[in-house]
Amino acid sequence: MSQSSWKLRPATEADISHILGLIKELALYEKAPERVEATEESLRKTLYGARPYAEVVLAVDGETAVGMALFFHNYSTWLGKPGIYLEDLYVQESQRGKGIGKALFGYLGKLAKERDCGRLEWSVLRWNAPSIAFYKTLGAESLGEEWDGMRLEGASLQALDKLLPANAEY
């Protein structure tokens, strides 16, 4: 595939199987394929349902999806502006080094300008040296040791509502 044979485009509902396939490939790369719980049905509901929670841009070569960026908006109270949070960026291993990752970031940068976003943020696994090196070529900065990603999921997430006082109005 030459650099000129691929293009970027927003994913559509018809791309659900491609999106799920790329998610599974990313999970394999990150050494956690057993953690993927997403299904075509859950992606259809959350990406294209009544309230879409995220967006996807695909890198495609003909009809073949070779990369993706899955992202959503967050918000910075300090800036008073929305931001873009890049949940996943993935380019198939055989397609790396062809400019696809840079183009996906370029797409997000253009979108951030159009939507008056103040930030583009993402997380990276500390062991993923090739990705960290790539991000630094773009001018990305680590949040340093002062910040660490935190997460609640599963039983811990389900138990949060127990923290509400009995008389809470919501």
* Mean pLDDT, rounded, for 29-47: 96
Confidence (pTM): 0.85
Catalytic residue among 29, 48, 53, 135: 135
Nearest to 61 by CA among 108, 9, 102, 13: 9
Question: Is 29 part of the annotated catalytic residue set?
Answer: no
Domains delineated in the chain: 3-163 (3.40.630.30)
* Mean pLDDT, rounded, for 55-69: 96
pLDDT in tens, 70-122: 999 999 999 999 999 999 999 999 999 999 999 999 999 999 999 999 999 88
**Whole-number average pLDDT of the chain:** 89
Q: What is the pLDDT of residue 146?
A: 67
Q: What is the pLDDT of residue 138?
A: 82
Give the pLDDT band of residue 157 (cuts 50, 70, 90).
Answer: confident
Residue 1 pLDDT greater than 50, yes or no = no
